[in-house]
Structure 1
């Protein structure tokens, strides 16, 4: 037996197993993100969007880590709307955290006798963050719809070898 053929076969088998494991994890992460994202509506709490952001990060890390195992064209179709979704979820979360921190700081300054102008400036900054957060919240629906499209679903199906995602329910919601 030619030893180099055996090693090549072992490497090919290892690549196949790695691809299978990666595809399974990507499929699971994608399905979870789609399922959870479809539940977001106008009444969803900020924590739900933050959890969705973590789901999106998990999927993105998997795609970046194992991307070399899959067709570049499918990855491009899968990653572009994911990045866009992550951007809007990040803007929403960042403004949530910043507004909370400024409000806490403003209360502290108020108890320490800060000037009225300082307190008003803090309120103005919080209002600007609120405007940005509201904009991100409104943009979420379009970004998620783009991510949850047939084209993207087919790209993930090609990457994972699953045909299509399990959940076909595409509800139009007031996200």
Structure 2
């Protein structure tokens, strides 16, 4: 659902899209109308929400965001999103060969969701440890937190995390080093 229309005299494109998991709209317009549209929306009762709100909602809905759970170094198969890629005979694209190989042979890592059970806040790029040893693959840390937030609905700390396929998330017990006053514990 989408429409080209005007809002407070400004031309806009409005669509029922987005990746927060909520029923809502995205509005696109030329930046010269930003203040005019902002004022019209807030005057009508819209409440401003920032990226933190967007990220909490999208993580609760298990929606990926480019640069975090998907990127130029995380394939759709590693992210559990291969259902979005429809390889067709005779149609080539960058990465097709890699995706087809990963589909048939498996991947070196997967993206899983973690819930922090203890106190603390997990931050992006924190490394994962087991029995005091950093979890690495051939000496290179590929086991790390990709993003983190606290669910406003239930207070759970949720973190999509990259793990090598040699680590089973179903039986995994590990720790994440949280820096405290410049130290790690």
Which TM-score applies when normalising by structure 2?
0.27
The higher-RCO structure (CA 8 Å, 6+ apart) is 1
Normalized per residue, the structure richer in helix is: 1
Normalized per residue, the structure richer in strand is: 2
Which TM-score applies when normalising by structure 1?
0.28
Larger Rg: 1
